[in-house]
Structure 1
Amino acid sequence: MKAFKDYIIQFVGLKEGEHHFNFDINNTFFQNFEYDEFNSADVKVELKLIKKTTLLELYFSASGFVNVNCDLTNEPYDQAIEDEYKLVVKFGAEYNDDNEDILIVAHGEYEINVAQYIYELIVLSVPIKRVHPGIEDGSLQSDILSKLEELSPNEDSKTKSSEDIDPRWNNLKKLLTDK
């Protein structure tokens, strides 16, 4: 838990109004969560905290990149990250995080750890299917990609002429039209 001490915000001493916090996220942050999907990371997270008398509003904004491997070719590339998240912190009898947009903390609490919310914001902003941009524009040259193209079925083999069809199928097709 000592690794996340930089992500603890003590809101008790803050005046009512708007407060800004900046976090630089790199691979060490994800290693603390034992998450190893990223080769490297460089994400800037800006947190705007609006303190009101009965609640806190947290606005997270993440921008930067994470280096991931392509799902098709396993080639590493930089995936851009741009995402936002809003969290409302209310005070209640006991801690409750069942709702993803509302966090309820006990009345006696004086600080909140935002590391988990930053982690989820970045991880969930990466697309499910990670495709190297060089595949889409045709500029990527790799051995795996050339092997995939070699093994893909040809368009010529998909279109069969009527001569290649077994004549027994034609008799079966007549049953459909003879109704």
Structure 2
Amino acid sequence: MANLKAYNIALKGLGVGKHEFDYEVGQTFFEYFDGGIAENGHVDVKLELEKQSALLVLNFHVKGTVQIQCDRCLDLFDQPVENENTVFVKYGEEKFEEGDDVIWITPNETHLNVAKLIYDFILLAIPIKHVHPEDEAGNSQCNPEMLERLNQFTAHEPSEEETPETDSRWDELKKLLDNK
């Protein structure tokens, strides 16, 4: 995590109360997490940390755009993202499983790196379906050449002119299927 030292929060010397941290996530951040859905982007992250005597409450607000690949035409496009998440950091010698929003750290930890949390929250803000948004007229902004190619290989229902003639020997058996 040498490249992500900017995302370390020094826990020692941090006073009780609320603290704010601002991060700008760019291409070098996404390159560190190679192989993910998002390949590039510009995302602003506001982190409000509330230190209490026994735990930390981290409130993340993620807003910006990420570059992802369209599921339909395979071109890259900018997807707006916005998300708010809360994570609780508790102190303890043993790690317990209390859910996805609780992190356990030992009392002698000096730093908390939030880079992986930020990356996860950005990915959670991306919709499941990755398709170019439509323009003002309601038309798809996908690559037209790829859409034409997809239409060539897409199965479609035959029209009445294309319906093949059936063998008349099977007509009586088809009547049995209709008499359910």
TM-score by length of 2: 0.83
CA contact (8 A) 1:96 1:105 kept: no
Name 2:92's counterpart in structure 1.
92
Deviation at 1:134, TM superposition (A): 3.9
Report the 3-state secondary structure (helix = DSSP H, G, I; strand = E; otherwise coil) of the residue aligned with 1:120: helix
| Distance change >3 Å, CA 116–CA 93, structure 1 → 2 | same
Q: 2:154 aligns with which of 152, 155, 160?
A: 152
Of 74-83 and 87-96, deviating more is 87-96
Question: What is the CA deviation profile of residues 59-81 of structure 1, one whole-angstrom value per residue up to 9, with x for unaligned ones?
Answer: 11111001222121122211011
| Distance change >3 Å, CA 107–CA 75, structure 1 → 2 | same
CA contact (8 A) 2:82 2:125 kept: yes
Name 2:168's counterpart in structure 1.
167
Name 1:14's counterpart in structure 2.
14
Answer yes or no: is 1:44 the counterpart of 2:44: yes
Q: Normalized per residue, which structure has more helix?
A: 1
Answer yes or no: is 1:137 the counterpart of 2:155: no
| Distance change >3 Å, CA 160–CA 11, structure 1 → 2 | farther
Deviation at 1:98, TM superposition (A): 7.1
Counterpart Cα distance in 2 of 1:109 and 1:79: 36
Structure 2 unaligned segments of length 5 or more: list them. none
Report the 3-state secondary structure (helix = DSSP H, G, I; strand = E; otherwise coil) of the residue aligned with 2:78: strand
Question: How many aligned residue pairs are there?
Answer: 178
- Percent of matched pairs sharing the same residue: 35
Counterpart Cα distance in 2 of 1:13 and 1:62: 26
Question: What is the CA deviation profile of residues 159-178 of structure 1, one whole-angstrom value per residue up to 9, with x for unaligned ones?
Answer: 68998443333211333466
| Distance change >3 Å, CA 176–CA 20, structure 1 → 2 | same
Of 72-81 and 92-101, deviating more is 92-101
TM-score by length of 1: 0.84
| Distance change >3 Å, CA 70–CA 161, structure 1 → 2 | closer
